[in-house]
Amino acid sequence: MAEDIKTPSGYPQDGQQPFQVIEEPPLPPVNEFKRFIKVFARRKIVLFGLLLVLVILVAGIFPSQLAPHDPYRLNLMNNLQPPSSTYPLGTDELGRCLLSRIIYGARLALISGVATVIISTIIGSAIGLIAGFSGKVVEDIIMRLTDAWISIPPLVIMILVGAIIGRGVMGIVLAIALGMFPGYIRLVYGQVMTIKQNDYIMASRAMGDSKISIALKHILPNCISPIIVTMTMMMGGAVMAEAGLSFIGLGLQPPNPAWGTMANDGYTQLGNLPLLSIAPGLAIVVLVFGFNMIGDGIRDALDPKMRGVEE
Amino acid sequence: MVAFIVRRLVSSLFIVLLVSMVVFILIRMTPGCPVSALVDQEINSRMQAGEVLDPVMQQELMDRIFAEHGLDLPIPIQFVNWLGRMLRGDFGRSMVRNYDIRTEVGRRMAVTVYLGVLSLIVTVVLGIFLGVVAAVRNGKLIDSVVTSFGNFGMTVPAFLIAILLVWVFGFLLEWLPIWGFHLPWRGDVGQSIRRTILPVVTLSIGGIGGLSRMTRSAMLDVLNADHVRTAWAKGMREKTVIFRHVMKNGLMPIVSGFGGMIRGIFGGSVVVETIFVVPGMGALLVQAMQSNDYNVVQATTVLLTFITVMSNLVVDLMYVWVDPRIQLA
């Protein structure tokens, strides 16, 4: 019986090639890391921003080696000195060396930028994933609560949480993180909703994968890139938020050398020693600018549209 | 349309209710109590009057003052009481300074809204204008000037802008007053305008930076579209092409940034009012937070949240106006 089944006449037989295969030369393997670096370093201003952040990072790691004086030592005989060779940026109202205080403030500024963003990313992404993967009821509750949370002026949240936990470094970091995290919920939730439509998710479900394994194996990796981009973009914002809080006296409490507090303390002397408030303010600008540029670079480097850009 | 607005209004009210509940609880979790200062004051004045107060009497006094402010009740009941009074338009009195909150907030709201609306107008007009100019003259000198200004506005914190402005215009040039504010219809008009300039400029710069960037990139996308090339090819004048064909489509992303802008201006008012000693809502909020004045914090947050929620609703309605394809769901 088997012989009766004939191959249809139109089909080539006896191992003939059905159609001509044109051998394409294989594409050279792309080293993702190298490509990332190349695109990242394409713009000089991005590298400049990276350099600025690195300088501040060094100041934040080795403040005691770099600072010419003790940033906390009061010296009322020497207060409000103009810049001189001993005090490169002068001294504040309590006779403390301004440059040393700015250098010691670098660590606080970096922590408030990086730690807040990491914490709010983790909380926000986790909740966003849960919202995108649970039933209608849980999803609705989470997203409506997120809407409500976003409607509270972030400053109010930050001030209240800061007051409850205490205005130390940890308290302020948590306060700012709680002010920022709903943004990540919306971001990740939106990603999940888009990615869920894909056929490979359906295939994965058909193969009997559990929701959790789909979330971790397929959804999360696809969210990483927009999350990283948003994180770097938000770091500048977090630094600004901390500086603003400290400026109005509801951020890090003295004697912490927070740049915002210093700018506010120096404001009373703006007429005779403008550097006292402008110099800490400029330090914030430098850090925020650096973070924003790094963010721009990473966004370009992770953007699929920028693939193959070799300039 | 009407159904949409009604539904959104209901959900907005729900959000405001939820927020006021959260703030009500959070503010009572903060360490420090608004009336303990009052208690100390009372005890001191009585001791000075020669009265002898043993701990039991002191405790009684404290209980009485707590009860006067309704703080001895369980928090849920306090909340219901507060809600009932607020719905009748009574925000209560400041626990620390004993003023009527409704009058005070009304006076301050006028100031903040006045400055906020002025800044919003300046931001929208200048931001869109600069963005359009930069996009139309893409790659020219004016483009890089606008782009750098945009970056400046987004990198420099509001308080540094204020400090620099005060330093230059207040101390170096001595052109403008550096603190104080009154509404133009409440006194000398010229002085009021001079006092308005620095706060409004400070509030606007960040927004102008962001808006001009957004406008520029939105316009650039549209400028390369086919229908714009056709418009040019038909020999239309530049103005007609830009306003009729590019602007209309480029407005979309701008509208989406609008909500953030309003929030930014109200958030910025806290810093600006602190620096320029403006008697507005932002300054009141900081003051109330510092002294833990429950009622004042409650009233200001609820009002600010209400404004935010309403402006979000307006933004959503503007979407439909700009792009009729959008269906209100």
Three-state DSSP at A270 gives coil
Across residues A48-77, what is the average pLDDT? 86
Chain B residues with CB-CB distance to A262 below 8 A: none
Angle at the Cα of A6 from the Cα atoms of A4 and A10, rounded to 5 degrees = 165
Q: Is the pLDDT of residue A21 over 80?
A: no
Which residue type occupies B210? G
Q: What is the mean pLDDT for each group of 10 consecutive residues in chain B (329 residues)?
A: 85 88 88 79 82 80 82 86 87 84 90 92 91 86 87 86 90 84 83 89 89 86 84 85 80 76 83 90 88 88 86 82 72
> What's chain B's length in residues?
329
Nearest to B160 among A144, A145, A281 (CB): A281
Query: Are the C-beta atoms of residues B100 and B242 closer than 8 Å to each other?
Result: no
As a whole number of angstroms, the distance between CA B46 and CA A184 comes to 55
Closest Cα in chain B, distance from residue A8 (Å): 50
Cβ contact A263–B163 (<8 Å): yes
Range of weakest confidence among A16-30, A76-90, A168-182, B156-170: A16-30
Structure tokens, B238: 């530049």
Structure tokens, A225: 């890139």
Q: Is the pLDDT of residue A55 over 90?
A: yes
Chain B residues with CB-CB distance to A159 below 8 A: 286, 289
Structure confidence by residue, pLDDT tens digits, B66-123: 888 888 888 888 898 888 888 888 888 888 888 888 899 999 999 999 999 999 999 9
Question: Which residues touch B289 (CB under 8 Å, ≥6 apart)?
Answer: A159, A160, A163, A250, B297
Angle at the Cα of B310 from the Cα atoms of B268 and B20, rounded to 5 degrees = 80
Three-state DSSP at A91 gives strand
Chain B residues with CB-CB distance to A284 below 8 A: 157, 160
Structure confidence by residue, pLDDT tens digits, A259-304: 999 998 888 888 888 888 899 999 999 999 999 889 888 888 887 7
Which of left, alpha, beta for A277 (phi over 0: left; psi -120 to 50: alpha)? Answer: alpha
Higher-confidence residue of A11 and A83: namely A83
- Report the pLDDT value the prediction gives residue A6, as an integer from 0 to 100: 53
As a whole number of angstroms, the distance between CA B152 and CA B130 comes to 14
- Report the pLDDT value the prediction gives residue A1, as an integer from 0 to 100: 47
Across residues A143-172, what is the average pLDDT? 86
State the count of interchain CB pairs (< 8 A) between A and B: 118
Interface ipTM: 0.83
Q: At what angle do helices A275-302 and A32-40 cross, to 10 degrees?
A: 140
- Report the pLDDT value the prediction gives residue A64, as an integer from 0 to 100: 84
Q: Token match 């970056």: residue?
A: B151
Whole-number mean pLDDT of chain A?
A: 84
Rounded to 5 degrees, φ, ψ at B100 are: -80, 120
- Report the pLDDT value the prediction gives residue A311, as an integer from 0 to 100: 42
As a whole number of angstroms, the distance between CA B190 and CA B176 comes to 11
Across residues A207-229, what is the average pLDDT? 84
Residue of B170, B322, B177 lying closest to B255 (CA atoms) = B322
As a whole number of angstroms, the distance between CA B47 and CA B43 comes to 6
